[in-house]
Structure 1
Amino acid sequence: MESGVSEGTQRWASALDAVVVYAQGALCTRVARGTVPPDGRVRVEGLPRSMDPDSLRAKVTGGDDVRVTEVRVEVDAEPSATGTADDLRREMERLRDVSAAAQARRDRHEGLIAEVAALRPVPPPRKRDDPHRTTPVDAWLRLVDFVDERLTGLHRRLAELEEELRLAEHEFEIALDRWSRASTDARPTHVDTAVCAALTLEGSGEVELELEYGVPGAVWVPAYRLSHRQGDDSGTLVLRASVAQRTGEDWTGVRVALATADLRRRTDLPRLRSLRVGRRQTAPAPSGWREPPAGLADLFAGYDGAGPRPAVTGGRMAAGAVAAGPAAVAGAGGFAAGPVPPPQAPPAYGMPPAAPMAPGGAPGAAAEVFGGALPDAPQPVGAGPGGRPAARARRAGAPAALAAAAPGRSAPPPPPPGSAPVAAGPPRPSDAELDYAALVLSGPDVGAESRGRLFPHTPFDPVAVEYRRRAEAVSALPLPGHAVRPRESAGSFDHRFDAAARTDIPSDGTWHTVTVTEIPVGLRTEYLCVPAVEQTTYATLVLSNATDQALLAGPVEVTVDDEFLLTGALPTLAPGGVRRMGLGPAEGIQVTRRTNLRESVSGLRGNTTVLDHQVHVELANRLARAVTVEVQEQVPVTSNADIRIEERADWTAPGQDTGPDSLAPGTRIWRVDLPAGGTAVLDGGYEIRVPAAKAIVGGNRRS
């Protein structure tokens, strides 16, 4: 079944060639090849149901004398010849029934055990004058033996039924997991639905087409693998990506690129009107509009005189290609698609001229070709959005039918008495109203004010909406460990990473790892300790990015000398940036710190308190190689001019750094080169001179 095309229209198969995955969503490129038919009308198949129809673009990559003059999205639906192909769903439903039957058998057996266990001897009722009877012990014992023997067999059977139920539930859970993780590229119903691109080509000969369209339901986060050898000043950082997609089509053998940009962000620039000083010029006639024909209201006089008619759900027929295929009626995908009420029609602007569609078929292209809403045309007084005057129906000579508002909308109020007259001028159609093939002709049942006139109309496809809703669910997947969203780590800049080889990513909504490229980075191993806080030395890797692309934040697997060390969090590293990444404690380097405080007074009258802090640090290298250790100490910082701090050490102050690795004010650094098995002793200190009338908050004695 075809929608709006003749039976002789050629159908071209297409193959997915490249995918650019953005922060959310993806831009897919399909390639189709064939010979241009005489009428130039071609249908390219293979598009997914979840695609955004407004994002479809087409261009010719092979064939110099051929160009695309129109491209549209159409949906086909027909009964499937082979029946339902969703074997995983049928297997899941079968195992669900098996599990339910096993559960019912187990429950019935437990009820039988309860009945047998409740067996008790009941003596016959005794009358008041009857003597007491002797209890038949043998009957009691036979009943106990019967119950015991019966319960033994029943419990043995119950264990078997519970094992069967456990296996059935396990198989059902496996089938349910396979069905939920299965690719959405499979056809889920008895109705075969297909989204096609209907193109009109101008030219002849062999041609190669590229179709580009956007789809929701694709996300990615970066990941890395770092290989380093001790003693080297460089390493290899392999950029990988965790990609998840549920777009409705499997990406098989495609070129994958990863971008941090927002695919839904608007990129169109505002258009400013020109301001001219001089003699007033006549406004050019707007293209794409003409007066409605005379006698339009009398066209339906015979229809109105035929008497009452049965109620219908809508009274419009398409003026051109039907935008909604039969999939909306057939309910492809297993979703109910009941009657949808027609949308409210915007204000009509008359009959459009019989002009050809603009190249590409896009509404914006039509406005450019036919000059709709010229930027240098003067704006009429009282114009609304899109340059359309609010009182356009009040100009002189306009037909009465043009002044009527669309159903559900009120007519514009009359101008107040004494107001200035509204500038006359024809209406200016919007871009949607200039897309002639998407206009819908109103039938005789929509009302006298709109019948026989054209309106923009976008059909509602509930199946496509459900596909897009399913695809959007992939954005709620839990992130891998240490993973960060690209938009969070990229900041104000956007980056793109192209994979070196083609890859396969099924449409199952789970994370898949893709190797992108190798990035050379500068590496050096440094050891850091802050003995005033903790007498432990930590190994760190100092990474420097010498490339022109940023390294986004994400998990990194560190391998040293071909041995896996740990999985850490790589911070965002801008081009030319240097960052430090911790590797954990280094047990082979020992550090010891001791302090001493002496308090005294100085000055002629002893009016100054001197707090002399002495710091003694000992380092010992127990590794088999030479290392560089950075020891950090903290010196008090004051903003009071009466308090002086004098340092007595050979440490150095770090440079001014405002990045995420910046140190606190007052930090001092020792850098010590320790040979294998060597030791070092560091002595330092500082004096705090405080006036006797003042004291340090919290006490003068501090370690």
Structure 2
Amino acid sequence: MTADTEHRWGSTLDSVVVYARGAVCRRLARGGVGPDGRVRVTGLPRTLDPGSLRARVLGAAGVRVTEARVEVEAEPLGTEAPDALRREVERLRAAYEAAAGRRDRLLRRIEEVAALRPAPPARKREDPHRRTPVEAWLELAEFVDGRLTGLHERLAEGEEALRRAEHAFEAAADRLARASTAAPAAHVATTVSALLTLVGAGDAEVALELEYGVPGAVWVPGYRLTHRQGDDSGRLVLRASVAQRTGEDWTGVRIALATADLRRGTGLPKLRSIRVGRRQSAPAPSGWREPPPGLADLFTAYDAAGPRPAPVTVGAPLAVGGAAPPPRAAAPVPVAPPPPPPPATLGYGAPPPAPGSAPEAFRGPASALPQPSGARPGGRPRAAGAAPMAPAAPAPPGGMPAAPAAPPAPPAGPPRPKDTELDYAGLVLSGPEEQGGRRGRLFPGAPLDPVAEEYRRRAESVATLPLPGHCVRPRESAGSFDHRFDAAARADIPSDGVWHTVTVGEIPVGLRTEYLCVPSVEETVYATLVLSNATDQALLAGPVEVTVDGDFLLTAALPTLAPGAVRRVGLGPAEGVRVTRRTELRESTSGLRNNTTVLDHGVRVELANRLASPVTVEVRERVPVTSEPDVRIEERADWTTPEDGAGPDRHAPGTRLWRVDLPAGGTTALDGGYEIRIPAAKALVDGNRRS
């Protein structure tokens, strides 16, 4: 395909579905199609997965896409390339280095001036003692002090200038590090395009939809809850923190968030039937096909042509005037051991294999056959001057050579190909330079675009970003179910690898405020919000910002709420509701011979509501439990036994509940208690019997 025969279309990113890791992008393109039906759609990211490209025609009957493949192009950037931020960083780096150099020179000058000392002339032994010139010493000290004062003032100015230059350089470097990866990082722009072939389009204008997967995108959920005291409802807004480094900016796109794993296989398992009898069903195709006959004779003419000329090494000494260069000592060239036998699968097609054992070509490596002298593996003679083969290993003591290890026996039955060997697009045909067992056959090759693999590896770095507070990965909170949340409005998310907040939408939830206290542990009343999920989708675990009566209260951790589930969210102590607990213990005996000890426990709980609205308070107490048949516990209170739940709703044995409705400014008192009857010959061990 050439530029003269193809039609170039621009494309626009329309929507993105962000999964637990990775994303699926959807682009729209429109244009005219030439008589050959070839179209090149540009604007695709460098991290695109070539195997995920899908294309279809929108709103045109009879037009379909028959071929779609990915192609990478490179072209030099012009002088007006968008690298102003990079040039600014280089300029600030040079300014910082210059300021650091001036500061270092001032420090050296200060050291030199501070090292000035008076040096008296050398005195001979017969010379008399001289008087010290004090005035000269004082003048030198004044000179040093004055010079040091000026140098230290300049040093303070230089250090301040260095600090400002360092701050400006670090800020610009941070902006460059956080800048979008959609801009090219070099002077060569690399573009990825999709080459499509359309049938039935004619000269009409056609609209296309391209879908492809990219790595380097993650998201975590978050919430904002708005509530007013006294109301039985609230507004729960789902917000998501999204980070992406896919190489393209998502500008004005529709965002959808999914909890599914994009890399998880979705193929349905096949349950094979088991038949009893001689007649069995035909085996399923294995994807392997026997090599064509006469494959070894295909390279006869190539081997007969002799060795290829040795390549000329750049920088090697050349002969001058017919004189040959002096010989060099040839370094020994190690010879690798023969390669392992080729795998038992060759991607020649998908017809079923012939029943029976594997063909002869798979029973052992071709390099194990005896080779003639001067020949190299593959049948071609060794070039003159080539390094000899490595000598065989010396025989062990005793004179008997060691027997070579026998190759492992191939498995019985037809060869079973691996997943990489069934990927026909990734198979590479081995050339005549390969070993005898690989020549002319298909084997899995290296990735065709290692640069793209490096781009994808860098994009995956967003998976290691630290999570915001109380955030949980979607796959950890979604459990075995997958959910999708569609954002109500379009959003902008640059490819900078940092978290960006996107508002998804409002979720209807049931909401009521309840107060909870356990006065036997702490005489404090705590406010809680009871959330009930009334939707058909689960609410994933994440942070929730609670706002009560227009004032921000706190950020709590919201647990996962399945459809129809009810959970509590703690709001902290409620200072407007007070609780007081008093206990009383009376010990006595009963029975015909006073053979039963009675421990009578009395509990009195007093509540006071100082709020301007009525409240519902749940008071929790605990009654002792016993496993002894001789010990009896008799309760005398109007409390109730809670229903035993699962997980965080599970109550400890012996838990009892009081539910009290208090009006605004009202008070109440709750009386209860229990008796413990034990035989007189026994006694309570451990615990606080007066609690």
Correspondence for 2:510: 522
Root-mean-square deviation (CA, aligned residues, Å) is 3.5
Q: Secondary structure at the match of 2:544?
A: strand
Q: Deviations over 1:606-664 (max 9, x none)?
A: 33222211111111111111111111111112222221111111111111211313222
Correspondence for 1:615: 603
Correspondence for 1:627: 615
User: Please, which moves more after superposition, 267-276 or 520-529?
Assistant: 267-276
Correspondence for 1:579: 567
The amino acid of 1:228's aligned partner reads H
Q: Deviations over 1:415-464 (max 9, x none)?
A: 79xx9xx87x8x89888778776654443322455444555545343321
Correspondence for 1:310: 310
Preserved CA contact (<8 Å) 2:640 2:658: yes
Distance 1:430 1:568, change over 3 A: closer
Preserved CA contact (<8 Å) 1:290 1:351: no
Preserved CA contact (<8 Å) 2:544 2:556: yes
Distance 1:694 1:254, change over 3 A: same
Distance 1:74 1:95 in 2: 38
Q: Secondary structure at the match of 1:528?
A: strand
The amino acid of 1:380's aligned partner reads P
Q: Offset of 1:153 from its aligned partner?
A: 0.5
Correspondence for 1:358: none
Preserved CA contact (<8 Å) 1:254 1:504: yes
Q: Secondary structure at the match of 2:156?
A: helix
Q: Among 53, 60, 63, which residue is 2:57 paired with? A: 60
User: Please, which moves more after superposition, 288-297 or 254-263?
Assistant: 288-297
Distance 1:311 1:487, change over 3 A: farther
Q: Secondary structure at the match of 1:69?
A: strand
Preserved CA contact (<8 Å) 1:23 1:262: yes
Q: Offset of 1:173 from its aligned partner?
A: 0.8
Q: Offset of 1:254 from its aligned partner?
A: 0.9
* 1:196 and 2:193 aligned: yes
Distance 2:116 2:637 in 1: 93
Q: Offset of 1:412 from its aligned partner?
A: 11
Q: Deviations over 1:581-611 (max 9, x none)?
A: 1111111111111111122222233332222
Distance 1:102 1:428, change over 3 A: same
Preserved CA contact (<8 Å) 1:70 1:201: yes
Distance 1:290 1:66, change over 3 A: farther
Q: Among 445, 453, 460, which residue is 2:433 paired with? A: 445
The amino acid of 2:120's aligned partner reads P
* 1:606 and 2:594 aligned: yes
Distance 2:65 2:211 in 1: 13
* 1:24 and 2:12 aligned: no
Q: Secondary structure at the match of 1:186?
A: coil
Q: Deviations over 1:17-39 (max 9, x none)?
A: 11111111111111222233322
Correspondence for 1:218: 217
Preserved CA contact (<8 Å) 1:482 1:569: yes
Correspondence for 2:477: 489
**Residues 502-581 of structure 1 aligned to structure 2 (within 5 Å):** 502-581=490-569
Preserved CA contact (<8 Å) 2:9 2:29: yes
Q: Secondary structure at the match of 1:157?
A: helix
**Residues 7-46 of structure 1 aligned to structure 2 (within 5 Å):** 7-46=4-43
Distance 1:136 1:285 in 2: 110
Preserved CA contact (<8 Å) 1:621 1:675: yes
Q: Deviations over 1:271-293 (max 9, x none)?
A: 45566766689999999968637
Distance 1:178 1:113 in 2: 37
User: Please, which moves more after superposition, 279-288 or 559-568?
Assistant: 279-288
Distance 2:93 2:302 in 1: 61
Distance 1:487 1:351 in 2: 36
Distance 2:78 2:585 in 1: 92
* 1:87 and 2:84 aligned: yes
Q: Secondary structure at the match of 1:568?
A: strand
Preserved CA contact (<8 Å) 2:517 2:525: yes
Distance 1:351 1:495, change over 3 A: closer
Q: Offset of 1:126 from its aligned partner?
A: 2.5
Preserved CA contact (<8 Å) 2:343 2:362: no
Distance 1:349 1:680 in 2: 83
Distance 2:507 2:422 in 1: 50
Preserved CA contact (<8 Å) 1:623 1:676: yes
Correspondence for 2:635: 647
Correspondence for 2:625: 637
User: Please, which moves more after superposition, 297-306 or 520-529?
Assistant: 297-306
Q: Offset of 1:304 from its aligned partner?
A: 4.1
Correspondence for 1:380: 355
Q: Secondary structure at the match of 2:690?
A: coil
User: Please, which moves more after superposition, 492-501 or 88-97?
Assistant: 88-97
Q: Offset of 1:86 from its aligned partner?
A: 2.8
Q: Offset of 1:298 from its aligned partner?
A: 5.1
Q: Deviations over 1:55-79 (max 9, x none)?
A: 2222223322122222222211233
The amino acid of 2:460's aligned partner reads E
Q: Secondary structure at the match of 1:576?
A: coil
Q: Deviations over 1:361-383 (max 9, x none)?
A: xxxxxx8xxxx356xxx88345x
Correspondence for 1:318: none
Q: Secondary structure at the match of 1:660?
A: helix
Q: Deviations over 1:202-259 (max 9, x none)?
A: 2224332222221111111111111112222111111110111111111111111111
* 1:476 and 2:464 aligned: yes
- TM-score (structure 1 length as normaliser): 0.82
Distance 2:182 2:272 in 1: 48
Q: Offset of 1:183 from its aligned partner?
A: 0.4
Preserved CA contact (<8 Å) 2:14 2:254: yes
Distance 1:663 1:55, change over 3 A: same
Distance 2:198 2:116 in 1: 87
Distance 1:441 1:503 in 2: 46
Correspondence for 2:260: 261
Distance 1:59 1:289, change over 3 A: farther
* 1:683 and 2:671 aligned: yes
Preserved CA contact (<8 Å) 1:557 1:564: yes
The amino acid of 1:73's aligned partner reads V
Q: Offset of 1:508 from its aligned partner?
A: 0.5
Correspondence for 1:119: 116
Distance 2:417 2:8 in 1: 35
Preserved CA contact (<8 Å) 1:83 1:190: no
The amino acid of 1:659's aligned partner reads G
User: Please, which moves more after superposition, 463-472 or 291-300?
Assistant: 291-300
Q: Offset of 1:555 from its aligned partner?
A: 1.1
Preserved CA contact (<8 Å) 2:20 2:261: yes
Q: Among 488, 496, 499, which residue is 1:500 paired with? A: 488
Q: Offset of 1:52 from its aligned partner?
A: 1.9
The amino acid of 2:256's aligned partner reads A
Correspondence for 1:134: 131
The amino acid of 1:682's aligned partner reads L
Distance 1:519 1:430 in 2: 47
Correspondence for 1:143: 140
Q: Offset of 1:40 from its aligned partner?
A: 2.5
Distance 1:449 1:41, change over 3 A: farther
Distance 2:287 2:144 in 1: 97
The amino acid of 2:542's aligned partner reads G
Distance 1:439 1:672 in 2: 74
User: Please, which moves more after superposition, 524-533 or 266-275?
Assistant: 266-275
Distance 1:8 1:60, change over 3 A: same
Distance 2:614 2:654 in 1: 29
